Amino acid sequence: MGKILLEKTDETLLVLSYTNHALDQFIEDLMDIGIDNNLIVRLGSKSTPRTAPLLLSNQHESGPQRRWTRRELISSQRDSMNRLLEMLKEACADFQKNVSTQQLLENLLFSPTDAHFHDALSLPETPEGETVVGAGGRKAKPDYLFRRWQDGKNAGIFTAKIRNQESKSVWNLSKEDRLAKIQGWKDELRREKLQEVITHIKEFNKCYKTLQGLKKEKTENILRSKRIIACTTTAASMCASEIQAARPGIVLVEEAGEILESHILAAMGPTTKQLIQIGDHKQLRPKVANYRLSVECANGYDLNRSLFERLVLLDRPSCTLLNQHRMRPEISELIRHNYPDLRDAKGTENRPHLLGFQHDVIFVNHKNPEAKHDSLFDKTDPTMKSSKQNEYEANMVIKCVRYLGQQNYKTDNIVILTPYLVSTPYSIVTAKYLLTTNHRVN
């Protein structure tokens, strides 16, 4: 189907899957039918040896001149971010410090309304080589007058030198008014410091956004050059803007029955023209974190009902792959009531019998009861306080695996399946449904 879509349309295909394993298997199937590897890109960090060359990290942009220009811009933006980060750290450290008297006096010097406070509270200038002394003949510090004013005192030995009216009005303020003035100056200075911090943060964020844009530009250019973009639903959400920049017209979903409806809708964009879902609505449902929102709880929310299942149940156009190629007929017969039209392909017949066992399909009945396991339970079901375990069955499975190994069966020939909570009691994947829906976003 993927090859037909490539040959018969000019659309870019977005291939989605719930798990990395299914995604890699699907990509390898595309490669096996002759699709050029250069047309495919795989998002995410996981891969198989065959799909590793298709990873985004292993792809290169065409046009070396633009690549080098972007690399220089990225380097420049990183340098700017480091510089802004240091300035931001200094501004934050300054904001956390207490406002000093010296800072207040310096700030008053440039105040449009309170500059006369600076003149009244600063020590008089003295000729070079002379020292200003206060009470007791000790050297007066630069904040001598400010501290006396703050404490509600007069100018001391400098009182006679205060002659102009503005300075006198400063010293005539009550202690309460003086403290209110000081608090107002401190608040104003802290607001200025805070504004400096905010300015540096905005500049840093702007620089970071530019840097991310440069990185996204590379990804977008690579995706635009491909015909098939393959990723899991997780990677699709992380790279949503880059994927939409490639304007995929067809969204093809593998394992559609296990993917949340919201994840499918989020992967579709303004350029989506067709949605193709492949899966089995009678198998595993999507997982939801809250049991009360699930179909099994029967509260009506049904958030773990996939879009695929909803459309199948609404009798939307779909087709079924009726020939199964995996199971020998003795096994497929077990699930025939769920798939009444299922047919066994020729390749499933006359397969060699299972070595070392009397029959190819064996049912075991025993009377060893299950035991509760309090440390293992389904966290999505608040009513379940523990899980179940059966050591007898576990030991029996281990012995069977060892015995099969003695019959020369390898690990890639053996699969152990365990039951789980679903609407159907069978965990054997047999037939897949393919649903096609024409979808356009205006």
Dump pLDDT digits (tens) for 350-367: 899 999 999 999 999 999
pLDDT confidence band for 127 (50 / 70 / 90): low
pLDDT number for residue 419: 66
Q: What is the pLDDT of residues 406-438, one digit of tens each?
A: 999 998 889 888 765 433 333 333 333 344 444
Q: Mean pLDDT: which of 6-10, 23-27, 56-60, 135-139 is highest? A: 23-27
Flag whether pLDDT at 138 surpasses 50: yes
Burial class (CB in 10 A: 0-12, 13-18, 19+), 179: middle
Residue 312 pLDDT > 70, yes or no?
yes
Least confident span in 159-168, 298-307, 337-346: 159-168
Predicted model pTM: 0.62
Q: How confident is the model at residue 375 (pLDDT cuts 50, 70, 90)?
A: low
Report the mean per-residue pLDDT for the chain. 85
Specify whether the backbone of 122 is left (phi greater than 0), alpha (psi in -120 to 50) or beta. beta
Contacts of 214 (CB under 8 A, 6+ apart): 70, 73, 74, 77
* Integer Cα distance of 385 and 251 in angstroms: 41
pLDDT of residue 174: 92
pLDDT in tens, 179-237: 999 999 999 999 999 999 999 999 999 999 988 888 788 888 899 999 999 999 999 99
* DSSP tally for the chain: helices H, then strands E: 14, 11
User: Order of strands across the sheet with 250-253?
Assistant: 40-42, 228-232, 13-17, 250-253, 274-279, 433-438, 318-320
pLDDT at 439 over 50: no
Higher pLDDT, 3 or 201: 201
d(C-alpha 146, C-alpha 343), whole Å: 98
Quick check: helix, strand or coil at residue 376? coil
Q: How many CB atoms lie within 10 A of CB 26?
A: 20
Average pLDDT over residues 29-49: 93
| CA torsion, ordered 328, 334, 336, 338, to nearest 10 deg | -130
How wide is the angle at C-alpha 274 spanned by C-alphas 270 and 275, nearest 5°?
100
- Report the distance separating Cα 193 and Cα 187, nearest Å: 10
Cα atoms in the 13 Å half-sphere on the side-chain side of 244: 12
Report which residue type is found at 282.
K
What percentage of the chain exceeds 70 in pLDDT? 87
Collapsed DSSP state (helix, strand, coil) of residue 47: coil
Q: Which of 51, 424, 11 is CA-nearest to residue 257?
A: 424
Between residues 405 and 164, the one the model is more confident about? 405
Instruction: Over range 34-39, report the average pLDDT.
Output: 93
Q: How far apart are CA 234 and CA 227, in angstroms?
A: 20
* pLDDT one-digit tens code per residue, 267-299: 999 999 999 999 988 888 898 888 889 888 888
| Average pLDDT score over residue span 306-330 | 90
pLDDT, tens digit (0-9, with 9 covering 90-100), for 52-92: 999 998 987 765 555 567 778 888 889 999 999 999 999 99
3-state secondary structure of 166: helix
CA distance 23 to 196: 49
Average pLDDT over residues 130-145: 72
* Displacement of CA 5 from its chain's centroid (Å): 31
Return the number of other C-beta atoms located less than 10 Å from residue 223's C-beta.
Answer: 23
pLDDT value of position 136: 63
- In this predicted structure, the answer to whether residue 132 has a pLDDT above a threshold of 80 is no
